Amino acid sequence: MRIILLAHTPDPERAIATAARLCYSPSGAVELAEKMTDAEVKKLIKFIVASGHHSTIEHASFTFAIEGISRACTHQLVRHRLASYNQQSQRYVKFDQNLSFIVPPEIEKNPEAKDLFIELQGEIMRTYCQLLELGILAEDARYVLPNAAESKIIVTMNARELFHFFTLRTCERAQWEIREMAWKMLNMVRPLCSTVFENAGPYCFRGPCPEGKFKCARPPHQQPHPRSRR
């Protein structure tokens, strides 16, 4: 899995604080942004997060390029609707030479299961290539491709949606691949927007877990458990 932060709002917390202050000031946005000290920005952001005035957080956005994840993972990712996505097409891109597959860790560590998995992926690739050779369009041949097929996607989310995404997807109950991705994304944006994302992470970072009888047995933590896979 490879994640690159392609772009983000310059000085994102100052943009957020400026938006919040503009609501209650006769001054213009540029003047407000220039007058605030870093300490004032940080203090105001803390108030914004605590008070629930979260619409202002939407003024900061982050764009990621993500590679080396499965179609199973991207199907989960795009369920987060308040975001922008562009994904490598299986209709317009032919994979007869270089289609890769993601092997789940539980399969990777089981030699017999891994052999079965690799054998099936090979059979799928042979069938896919044969369909293309028969003149079947890639848009139809792709129907044989599995959830394990590697994909590439560009994602843009604002800070408010990212916070929500991190709450759900860094949780131990999230599937292992998207959880790993969420933690990597959080570790990228936290240094750039440290006050907003100070307490970002699963629900248990900030209060009781809402999962009820389904909650995990481990105490709250600041990083994913290295042996945790679901």
Active-site residues, by number, are 169
What Cα–Cα distance (Å) separates residue 227 from each residue in 112, 172, 199, 230?
Answer: 21, 11, 23, 10
CB 170 within 8 A of CB 72: no
d(CA 200, CA 194): 10
d(CA 19, CA 159): 14
Q: What 8-state DSSP symbol labels residue 222?
A: S
CB 63 within 8 A of CB 7: yes
Q: What 8-state DSSP symbol labels residue 149?
A: B
Residue numbering of the annotated binding site: 55, 76-81, 87-91, 142, 158-160, 164, 169
Residue numbering of the annotated binding site for dUMP: 76-79, 87-91, 142, 169
Q: Which helix (H) or strand (E) holds 152?
A: strand 150-158
Between the two ends of the chain, the Cα-to-Cα distance in Å is 17
Which residues have CB under 8 Å from 5's CB, separation 6+?
A: 62, 63, 64, 188, 189
The residue to which tokens 């994302």 are assigned: 197
Residue numbering of the annotated binding site for FAD: 55, 79-81, 87, 158-160, 164
d(CA 138, CA 144): 10
